[in-house]
Chain A
Amino acid sequence: MLDKSNQRTKYRKVDERILIAKSKKGDKAAFEELVRQFSKYVYTTAFFILRDTHEAEDVSQEVFVKVYLSIKGFRGLSSFKTWIRKLTVNTCIDKLRLRSKTKDKKVSLEKITEEYEVVFTRFDQSLEKSFFNKETVKEVLKIVVSLDESYRIPLILRDLQDYSYREISELIGKPIGTVKTNIHRARKIIKDKLKTYR
């Protein structure tokens, strides 16, 4: 037990590249540290897209299993975060496609807003001073999560995941024009809803 905690501290501040190199050689403790560093990021990405805590958990596990089984083949031409982000988004889009085929897309919004707690990894210091702004950001987040799938997915991919319009269009199988329009509408919905909250 003590050994485990020592190992954890040992790896905490170690560079991501070293962790990847060690994981490639089969060092499980190094891979576990990678899991600790990126699990919440993967979970959050999955939750924003799927709006379901259980499915987000499943996707997180699936993504890390895929990474674990294939890390030897990762050449590191893109950053590990980019690799894992795209893998998460692809897995989520596949789940959404499967969901649309098997069951109703609509998830109870009440359930969504009750089930999660938001924390900020990096928060603008000037904003942190203002409680109102922090609450507004949380409000924006709630509105984003409650958006209809056709608006939510392109907006999340563009504004939160830095995908290009072309990439989004290819991923969700819609023309670039539609993607741009939907993102614009999504931003307008957020703006209008924020006005009504105030």
Chain B
Amino acid sequence: MNNINRYLKIVKNAVIQPYDDIDKKIINRISNISKLDEKLLDNKFLDYLKKNNSRVYLVIQKIKNNPGAFAVLAMAGIFIVVFIAFIFKIFLDEEKIGGNNHQLSSSKDDTQ
């Protein structure tokens, strides 16, 4: 099956050579656009265009298409936030203990 996947990857780069000059035909067609052609921009197409121009829609689609990857990313994000909070807490605690020790030592000095 690995070979098939490899061949299919190559097939992806295959181009069917049209017998007629397709570029010329398309350019001719767009040079002679009629009112009828405007009907091609139907509601379905306009909806597709609208969705494709929406960043939110595209992000949602990306998440929907790769829910596993998104879950891993989200978990990694949460882990990083928790880790930073943990380090910050340790740092704060140490500073607090350091501050208390300093206070204690300074009060000892005062009594002496």
A residues whose Cβ falls under 8 Å from a Cβ of B: 28, 31-32, 35-36, 39-41, 43-44, 47-48, 53, 56-57, 60-62, 64-66, 68-70, 73-75, 77-78, 83, 86-87, 90, 94, 115-124, 127, 136-137, 140-141, 144, 159-160, 164, 166-167, 187, 190-191, 194
Residues of A within 8 A of B111 (CB): none
**23 pairs, A vs B, C-beta closer than 8 Å:** A32-B27, A40-B17, A44-B14, A44-B15, A44-B16, A48-B16, A56-B18, A65-B37, A68-B30, A69-B40, A74-B53, A75-B53, A117-B17, A121-B14, A137-B7, A140-B11, A144-B8, A159-B5, A159-B9, A167-B65, A187-B4, A187-B8, A190-B8
Among the 9-residue stretches B41-49, B85-93, B99-107, the one with 4 or more Cβ atoms under 8 Å from chain A is B41-49
- For residue B38, CB closer than 8 A to chain A, the reply is yes
* Top 7 A-B residue pairs of the complex, sorted by shortest distance between their CB atoms: A164-B65, A117-B17, A75-B53, A140-B7, A159-B8, A122-B13, A44-B16
Expressed in whole angstroms, the minimum distance between the Cβ of A98 and any Cβ of chain B is 13
Complex-state Cα separation, A164 to B41, whole angstroms: 26
Residues of B within 8 A of A159 (CB): 5, 8-9, 11-12
Give B30's nearest chain A residue, CB to CB.
Answer: A68
Given contacts A70-B41, A166-B64, contact A191 B1 (CB under 8 A): yes
Q: Please determine whether B17 and A61 come into contact, CB atoms closer than 8 angstroms.
A: no
Give B66's nearest chain A residue, CB to CB.
Answer: A164
Give A118's nearest chain B residue, CB to CB.
Answer: B14
Q: Please determine whether B23 and A39 come into contact, CB atoms closer than 8 angstroms.
A: yes
Complex-state Cα separation, A57 to B23, whole angstroms: 10
Of residues 34 to 67 in B, which have CB atoms within 8 Å of A's CB atoms? 37-38, 40-41, 44-45, 48-49, 52-55, 58, 64-66
Given contacts A75-B53, A164-B66, A191-B1, contact A61 B29 (CB under 8 A): yes
Complex-state Cα separation, A94 to B45, whole angstroms: 11
In-complex Cβ contact of A121 among B5, B15, B19, B66 (8 A): B15
Expressed in whole angstroms, the minimum distance between the Cβ of B81 and any Cβ of chain A is 28
Q: Please determine whether B30 and A64 come into contact, CB atoms closer than 8 angstroms.
A: yes
Q: Please determine whether A73 and B14 come into contact, CB atoms closer than 8 angstroms.
A: no
Q: Please determine whether A39 and B48 come into contact, CB atoms closer than 8 angstroms.
A: no
Q: Please determine whether A77 and B52 come into contact, CB atoms closer than 8 angstroms.
A: yes
Q: Please determine whether B65 and A119 come into contact, CB atoms closer than 8 angstroms.
A: no
Q: Please determine whether A119 and B14 come into contact, CB atoms closer than 8 angstroms.
A: yes
In-complex Cβ contact of A47 among B1, B5, B16 (8 A): B16
Residues of A within 8 A of B15 (CB): 40-41, 44, 118-121
Given contacts A40-B22, A64-B26, A159-B8, contact A117 B16 (CB under 8 A): yes
Expressed in whole angstroms, the minimum distance between the Cβ of A39 and any Cβ of chain B is 5
